[in-house]
Every structure is written in C-alpha cells, then in structure tokens.
Amino acid sequence: MNYEKFKNCIDACYECASECDHCATACLQEEDVKAMAKCIQLDRYCADICRMAAAFMARADGFMGENYSRQLCGFCATICEECGAECDSHKTEHCKNCAEACKRCAEECRKMAA
C-alpha cells in the first residue's frame, strides 16, 4: 500500500500543523504581539500547507496524486524551513516547539519531494 510509505511524512505534517496552529494562538497572547506578527503570518501559511500535503499523501495510492504529493511536499518544505527559521529567532517555548516540528517536517517533505 503506497499510503504506508507516506506515513512518516504525513505524521510530521500533521504534527507541524498543530504546532503552527498553536504557536500562532500563543503568539497572539504574548505581551509584544507586534514582535510576533511575522511568526503568526508564517504559522498560518505553514499550518495550512502541512495539512494539505498530508491530505494529498493520504489520498495518493497508485491512482493519481503521488506526483502531486511530491510536488506539494517540495513546496511545503520551503514554507516549513522559513517558518522554522522565524520561530527559531524567538525565545518562547511555543516558538521553540514549533521550530522543531517545522524542521522535522521539512526534512520528511524533502525526502518525499526527492
């Protein structure tokens, strides 16, 4: 089953989506929200693209879609890398957790895209 071979990447994508969704909410509650604006913006894009990449992979099973999944994973990796770099520049725990999830996801997506 082709779906299985995507399992690690799907898990990394959904984990990253959750951390990004949560990070944006936590950023909105920080004292200096303005300093987190770029992080929030990237979190929004990253959460959505991760969720969609996971959905594309789960649907790809030798019947159209594997190629789409690989292309979307390549794009997803780029956003994860940029979101992870931004998160890494902040000291808050939610940003650190998010940065880690972004990096793991970027790695898994790069493997898929290759």
Rounded Cα–Cα distance for residues 14 and 46 (Å): 11
Q: Which amino acid is at 71?
A: Q
Is residue 55 close enough to count as binding its own copies by CB under 8 A?
Answer: yes
Distance of closest approach, residue 3 Cβ to its own copies, in angstroms: 5
From 5, 33, 89, 111, residue interacting with its own copies (rule: CB under 8 A) = 33
Least distance in Å: CB of 42 to its own copies? 6
Interface of this chain with its own copies, residues 70 to 109, rule: CB under 8 A = 71-72, 75, 79
* Among 109, 82, 113, 112, residue whose Cα is nearest residue 98: 82
The helix, strand and coil proportions of the chain, stated in percent and rounded to the nearest 5, come to 85, 0, 15
Per CB under 8 A, 110 contacts its own copies: no
To its own copies, the closest distance from the beta carbon of 49 in angstroms equals 7
